[in-house]
Amino acid sequence: MSNFWIQYRFPCCALLALAMAGCTPSTPNGKEEGEQPQATAPALSPAASSAPAPDQSQQPMAEQRRVRALIQQVEQAYARGEADYRKGKLPEAKMEFDRSVDLMLMSGIAIKSDPQLQEEFDRIVDAVNALEMEALKQGNGFVLKEEPTPADVASDVTFEVDPNFVAKAKADLATTKSDLPLVVNDYVAAYINFFANTKKGHNTLLHSFQRGGRYRAMIQRVMGEEGVPQDLIYLAVAESGFNPRAVGPETRSGGGRAGGMWQFMPHGNYGLVRNSYVDERFDPEKSTRAYARYMKFIYGQLGDWYLSMAGYDWGSGNVQRAVQKTGYADFWELYKRNNLPPETKNYVPQILAAIIIANHPTQYGFDDITLDPPVLTDTVTINYQVDLHLVSDIVGASMDEMVALNPSLLRSVTPADGPFDLHLPAGTATLFEQRIAAIPESRRNGWRYHRVAAGDTLASVAHEYRVNVADLAAANQLHESDEVKGVEALVIPQAAAAAPSTHTILYTAHKGDTLVTIADRFGVSLDQLRRWNKMTGIKVAPGRRLHVSESGNAARVAGARGHRRGGAQASAESAEAAPAKGNEPKRKSRSGAKRGSAATEKKETAKSSEPAAHTRKGAASDAKKPRSEKPGAHGKSHARKQK
């Protein structure tokens, strides 16, 4: 089962049920749009006694036991999902519901040929479908809306602040510890007031601080190693809210999207690898190190941390030209003289406000901060290609967890030409090294690993993974007649997935095609296909020509372009000498696209492909461009970055 199905299996399970059960659109899996969704969790009633029983004389007892054990596991997974749903934990509920369906799909048992299992499958799919219909009535289904950053919600801040509040903020400043020079003026106080005294501002900044707990220790360590102020961590508040998978909107020039915790553009020389397999902008530690080095580089150009923050947002070349134009190498003078774009004018005060609040959380109503636990991993550097499904098997982690631990991977396999830093659940590195050694290096991009359970035989395992018994026995140095009792694990000799194409291909959609089936056919992810063709949803009109693969050279060509940096051609020296971020005005950043009706989406077939690729922002010149934002408005877009 490929990784695309791992990520998109849930919206497609209803159609699989239709296909296997021979249902028509009039069945519960295909409710009419006008039908009132069920408002309460459907009870999983026991299987009907009238269901035809398997032929006992033909079905081995071992197979019956497997079916009963499987149904018990399915019921338990559904129950956990329903409990999470009732608590409002929609992502966790979705994961358990997905697991309940996957347990049946991956069991190796022909669902349609076993009436008891077929009935269980139908009931689970119907029940989950009803729950998602209810979730859609209340919001966005099982997909949570992506939360904006504190900077995104601060577009309606006014600068008329109570003088008493300003005086209080200045008093707090006297006891604020920071390795950055801090100041409180009306502009900074306005953002402190917004984050402290408005529900929208308070909640967004609170959640950003909470997420920061996952990466704070790592960021502080990297900042210390690179010799930059620790409080530069708070630029992540404005950039992404500490979300390492954040993706900005397409630039106005159509060149790509900023991505990652620090919102790097897809072009530029920062020492971050970006190719058809990996985009290190989404690696929390590597992107943090690139950010620290880049800020150090900008400070070397501008000699002032406030101007450096402005340069990170707008481009250091733009800031240098503003300084040259006015004769003032001072952020606040450039602010007052309107020599900065509105977004950049707001950018620095927002960060200073976040620093001051973080140092005085109780005074500003943030005494309820509970930091998320830090992300702890083991990291092994590998020089061979390995499929994440195999890694998942070996360390006993879910595929979802492996994808989350390796956000820089754009595919379900690591690069073939290594090295690659593979992140594993904490404490599993030794186990991984021991178990991976049992699989030939050339087979690690396709083979699987199976922990032997009670009742397993070579035949049952071969059936589960759809491999030949003789091949399975040979791969494990066994005879076909051997028992596996006492064997800890078996390696599964599956064929590797076809290598992804590195050439752009145009495909003409045919009747019956969907983006899901096309993505599966060409071995790309649904998100990639949507991004390359600027589409949403999964429907595609017959006759439409689609880009189905992105050139692997595209990133390298874009990265080689010269960008103006302070009036001089940007060199490709090192991460420290990265070209400045672009200067296009930021449009309102990331918004979660709403999913369609579950009953509709689940009717689309879904085989698999790979993890969704992160979309990217395009190049923007460092030359000044006209801006349309109103003065004082935030107008954030992330479309500007030309780091």
For 92-112, the pLDDT digits (tens) are 777 777 777 767 766 667 777
Q: Does the residue 388 lie in any domain?
A: yes
Q: Does the pLDDT of residue 576 top 80, yes or no?
A: no
Q: Does the residue 442 lie in any domain?
A: yes
Q: Does the pLDDT of residue 128 top 50, yes or no?
A: yes
Closest alpha carbon to 178 in 106, 229, 215: 229
Q: Does the residue 384 lie in any domain?
A: yes
What three-state secondary structure class fits 387?
strand
Closest alpha carbon to 499 in 448, 556, 549: 549
CA distance 20 to 23: 8
Dihedral sign computed on CA atoms, order 270, 273, 279, 282: negative
| Residue 156 DSSP class | G
Q: Which amino acid is at 585?
A: P
- Tell which of 103, 138, 173 closes a domain: 138
State which residues form the domain around 32.
Answer: 3-45+60-138
**Global pTM?**
0.61
Percentage of the chain exceeding pLDDT 90: 40
Q: Does the residue 580 lie in any domain?
A: no
Q: What's the pLDDT at 105?
A: 67
CA distance 80 to 74: 10
CA dihedral angle for residue 197, residue 198, residue 204, residue 206, rounded to 10 degrees: 30
Q: Does the pLDDT of residue 626 top 50, yes or no?
A: no
Q: Which amino acid is at 163?
A: P
- Asked if 222 contacts 289 with a C-beta cutoff of 8 angstroms, the reply is yes
Q: What's the pLDDT at 326?
A: 96
The top-scoring range by mean pLDDT among 156-160, 303-307, 585-589 is 303-307
Q: What's the pLDDT at 561?
A: 23
- Which region among 44-53, 72-81, 229-238, 427-436 has the lowest average model confidence (pLDDT)? 44-53
CA distance 430 to 174: 50
Closest alpha carbon to 143 in 1, 257, 10: 10
Q: Which amino acid is at 608?
A: S
Structure tokens at 274: 């970006």
Residue 585: asked if its preceding bond is cis (omega within 30°), the reply is: no
Q: Does the residue 10 lie in any domain?
A: yes
- Asked if 186 contacts 332 with a C-beta cutoff of 8 angstroms, the reply is no
- Asked if 418 contacts 383 with a C-beta cutoff of 8 angstroms, the reply is yes
Q: Does the pLDDT of residue 394 top 70, yes or no?
A: yes
Burial class (CB within 10 angstroms; exposed 0-12, middle 13-18, buried 19+) of 308: buried
> What is the number of helices (H) and of strands (E) in the chain?
24, 8
Angle at 499 between CA 494 and CA 501, to 5 degrees: 155
CA distance 580 to 564: 8
Angle at 605 between CA 107 and CA 2, to 5 degrees: 50
Q: What's the pLDDT at 261?
A: 95
CA distance 576 to 23: 60
CA distance 586 to 342: 10
CA distance 353 to 332: 15
What three-state secondary structure class fits 275?
coil
CA distance from start to end of the chain: 38
Percentage of the chain exceeding pLDDT 70: 67
Q: Does the residue 437 lie in any domain?
A: yes
Q: Quick one: pLDDT band at residue 175, thresholds 50, 70, 90? A: confident
CA distance 342 to 260: 23
Closest alpha carbon to 379 in 344, 426, 415: 426
Q: pLDDT tens digit string along 23-81? A: 333 333 333 333 333 333 444 444 443 444 444 444 467 777 888 888 888 888 888 88
Q: Does the pLDDT of residue 506 top 80, yes or no?
A: no
- Tell which of 87, 113, 138 closes a domain: 138
How many structural domains does the chain have? Answer: 2
Q: What's the pLDDT at 151?
A: 73
CA distance 51 to 475: 41
Angstrom distances, CA of residue 520 to CA of 2, 8, 446, 527, 598: 9, 11, 17, 12, 20
Q: What's the pLDDT at 497?
A: 54
What three-state secondary structure class fits 259?
strand
- Asked if 206 contacts 365 with a C-beta cutoff of 8 angstroms, the reply is no
- Asked if 342 contacts 313 with a C-beta cutoff of 8 angstroms, the reply is no
Q: Does the residue 597 lie in any domain?
A: no
Q: Quick one: pLDDT band at residue 5, thresholds 50, 70, 90? A: very low
Structure tokens at 436: 């991976």
- Asked if 255 contacts 413 with a C-beta cutoff of 8 angstroms, the reply is no
Host H or E run for residue 3? helix 3-21
Q: What's the pLDDT at 358?
A: 94
What three-state secondary structure class fits 327?
coil
Q: What's the pLDDT at 471?
A: 94
Q: Quick one: pLDDT band at residue 381, thresholds 50, 70, 90? A: very high
CA distance 569 to 551: 26
Q: Which amino acid is at 402?
A: M
Q: Which residues contact 127 (CB under 8 A, 6 or more apart)?
A: 41, 42, 44, 78
Q: Does the pLDDT of residue 424 top 80, yes or no?
A: yes
CA distance 125 to 110: 17
Q: Quick one: pLDDT band at residue 253, thresholds 50, 70, 90? A: low
Better-predicted residue by pLDDT, 81 or 440 = 440
Burial class (CB within 10 angstroms; exposed 0-12, middle 13-18, buried 19+) of 293: buried
Q: Does the pLDDT of residue 582 top 50, yes or no?
A: no
Rounded mean pLDDT, 6-23? 41
DSSP secondary structure string for all residues of 446-510: T-EEEE--TT--HHHHHHHHT--HHHHHHHTT--TT---TT--EEEE-PPPPPPPP-S-EEEE--
Rounded mean pLDDT, 428-432? 98
Q: What's the pLDDT at 251?
A: 66
Q: Does the residue 400 lie in any domain?
A: yes
CA distance 422 to 577: 27
Provide the mean pLDDT of the chain: 74
